[in-house]
Structure formats: C-alpha cells, structure tokens
Structure 1
Amino acid sequence: MSVTLYFLRHGETQSSQSGSFCGMLDLDLTPEGHQMAADFAAAYREQTWEAVYGSPLRRARDTAQPLCDALGLTVARRDGLMEIAYGAWEGMTQEDVNRQFHDDYVRWLADPGWNAPNGGERGVDVARRADAVLDEILRTHHAGNVLVVSHKATIRIMLCSLLGIDFGRYRDRIDAPVASLAVVEMTDRGPLLRRLADRAHLRDALRARAGT
C-alpha cells in the first residue's frame, strides 16, 4: 500500500473573494468558508486518515478543524506550509500592484518561480520550505492517506515539485480554487496525480461561488 497525499486549500476568505494578495495576512474564513470546511469534513469523515498536516495560519487551521473534531485528530502545524509571502503587495489588488510596482509585477508574472513580490518570496523559496514538510511526511508515513491543508500558491508549488513541473509555471499550469482538493498517490513509479481542483465535496451553492 502506498501513501496518498490529499492537498486541501482552505475555504473562502474576503481576500479570495476580492482577488487581493493574501500571503501572511492571518484572515478569518467567511461564513461560507466555514461551511466549506464543514462540507469537506462531512464528505471525508468516513475515510481513514494517517495524519493531518496544516499551515498555522487561521484560515487553514479553521478549514482542517471540522474533520479533526469529527475524528479526534490533531493537526501537525508546519510553518513550511504557510502561504507565499507577498511582501509589500499584501492586501493589494492586482490592479494596484500593477500601478505601483509595474516593472516588478511584470517580471513576477513572467516567472514567479525566480522573481519575488517586493519584499516577498520567490516560488523556489516556498518550494524549499514546503518540500521539507513533504519529505517529513513521506519519511514518517509509509502507507495510507495524509491530509495537507494549505494555501493556493503553496499547494500549486508543491504539486509542481512532485510532478516535475517548472516552478515558474505554477500559476499557469495548476488550478487550486478555494476549498478544492488535489490528490497525489506516491506509487512505485513516482507521484501520480489522481485528482485536481476537485470540489465535489461542496454543496452546489458553494461550488458555484466565484473566487480566486
């Protein structure tokens, strides 16, 4: 039996609704975001879990908590699973960043793997810290299902790392809408992507909500 990694992005926040940059800002879930977390727990509480790992940021903690409460599990919080730091761009819309930091924004759009937001992190920096957590998980758990609750950019970067996709293309190749699930099975031939951007666990009204 192999390890299967379930990557769950946190539920909706005001930032995911507005499309503003939110990396290290410690935002709450919206009421709908809390319902997304409850829907995930209801859908997956019957599954056997070896462990739950998560970002310490509140929106990730609160997304993981309903499942952990249902199963009596404790989240192993890891700083390496936090969202990418957007530096001076935190809380700003893309339009405002483009206006105030145009040249840097254009460079970042072209290759966010090796160009950082002003005062923030490059994709490769996130990959190093997140990969350290993945290495820990795979050393610790040799079979079964492991849930990893994290953030949009960080999940996309981890998936690029596992699947051999250039970090500079993480924004162009991988989708991760709010409360979505990606599933990667660690097979004898390497990581196998089983599901991507899966929101089937959400009720119809939540699945239909827009957001980045």
Structure 2
Amino acid sequence: MPTRIYLVRHGATDLTTDDYFAGSSDVPLSDEGHRQVARLAERLRREKFAAVYASPLQRTMETAHTLALPHALAPIADPALREIDYGHWEGLPRALVETRFADEYARWQEDPFVVAPQGGESGVNVLNRLLPAVRAIVERHRQRTVLVVSHKGSNRLLISSLLGLDPRGYRERLEQSPAALNVIEFAPERHARLCLFNDVAHYAAAVAAAPPHA
C-alpha cells in the first residue's frame, strides 16, 4: 500500500478574490471559505487519516480543524508548511505592487523561483523548508493516509518539485483553487505520483462521499 498525502489548499479569505499579496499575513477564512471547507469535510468524512498537518496560519488551521473534526483528530501545526513570505509586498493589492515596485515585480515575474521581494522569500527558500517537512511526514506515516493543509504557492511549488517540473513555471502552469484537493502517492517513499490535482468537485451542493482517488 502506498503512503498517500491528501494535500489541500485552505478555503477562500476576503483577500483571495481581491488579489492581494497575503502570504505571511494572518487572515481568517471568509464566509465563502468556510462553506468550501465544510463541503470538502463532508466529501472526506469516510476517509481514514492517520494524522492532519497544517501551516500555523489562521486560515490553514481553521481549514484543518474543520476537516479533522469528523475523524476525531487534532491538527498538528508545522511552520514549514506556511505560505511564501512576500516581504514588503505583504498586504498590498497586486495592481499597486505592479506600479510601486515595477522593476522588482518584473524581475520576480520572470523568475519567481529565484527572485524574492525585499524582505521576503523566493521559491527556493520555500522548498528548502517545505520538502524536508513533507518527506518527514511521509516517513513518519508509511503506508498510511495523511491530510496536509497548506497554501496556493506552497502547494504549487511542492507539486512541481515532486513531479520534476521546471519550478520557474510553477505560477503559470499549476493552479490551486481555494479548498482544492490534491492526492499524491509515494510508493516507494522517495517517488511521488500525482493522482488528483486541484479538484473542487465538492463545490457542488451535493457531494458524493466516495474516495476522491477512485
């Protein structure tokens, strides 16, 4: 039996639709985000999780608590799962960043894997903390299923790295919708296979409880 990671992005926040840079900003889920996560919890209620891990930020912990409740599990906060820190762009709308920090933003757009905003993180920085954390989770829960709740950028970087994709294109080539579900299998533990990607079938009002990898 493979080790299976159910990798989830947190539900929507009030900054999600407004296109703000809110990587390290600690914001809660919006009402819509709570609805999205509740539907995902219903979808996953019959799964058997060995553990639930989450970024310590409020929006990810709220998501993790809702998803873990039907399984009588307490989410484990892991700082390595947190989102990219956007430095002095944090809390600003993208349109403002594009004009106020035009040169820096252009360099970041060209190569977000290496370039970081002043005071923030590059994609390389994120993977340096994220990959060892996920590897440790996989080793700790061999041949079990684990739920991991993280963020849009972190999830895209992780998936691109595990699949051997060019990490410089992670923003253009990979999407992560709010409360999206991804399923990654490790068999053996050092080789990853993506079984489900950016799935939001639970957005529908009626959700089947069948395993999403079926």
Q: Same fold (TM over 0.5)?
A: yes
Q: Distance in 2 between matches of 1:101 and 1:81?
A: 27
1:156-195 deviation per Cα after TM superposition (whole angstroms, max 9, x unaligned): 1111121111221110221101110111111248211111
Task: Give the CA deviation at 1:51.
Answer: 1.1
Q: Equivalent residue for 1:81? A: 81
Q: Distance in 2 between matches of 1:37 and 1:65?
A: 10
Q: Equivalent residue for 2:122? A: 122
| Aligned-residue CA RMSD (Å) | 1.4
Q: Distance in 2 between matches of 1:177 and 1:204?
A: 17
Q: Equivalent residue for 1:58? A: 58
Residue 187 (structure 2) pairs with residue 191 (structure 1): no
Task: Give the CA deviation at 1:67.
Answer: 2.2
**Structure 1 portions without partners, runs of 5+:** 206-212
Task: Give the CA deviation at 1:139.
Answer: 1.5
1:130-168 deviation per Cα after TM superposition (whole angstroms, max 9, x unaligned): 112112112201112111100000011111121111221
Q: TM-score, normalised by structure 2?
A: 0.92
1:43-78 deviation per Cα after TM superposition (whole angstroms, max 9, x unaligned): 101111111110000000011112222211011110
Letter in 1 for 2:75: V
Letter in 1 for 2:62: D
Residue 142 (structure 2) pairs with residue 142 (structure 1): yes
Letter in 2 for 1:110: E
Among all aligned residue pairs of Structure 1 and Structure 2, give the percentage whose two residues are the same amino acid.
Answer: 39
Q: TM-score, normalised by structure 1?
A: 0.93
- Spell out structure 1 runs of 4+ moving beyond 4 A: none
Residue 56 (structure 2) pairs with residue 31 (structure 1): no
Q: Distance in 2 between matches of 1:171 and 1:147?
A: 23
Letter in 2 for 1:202: Y
Q: Equivalent residue for 1:166? A: 166
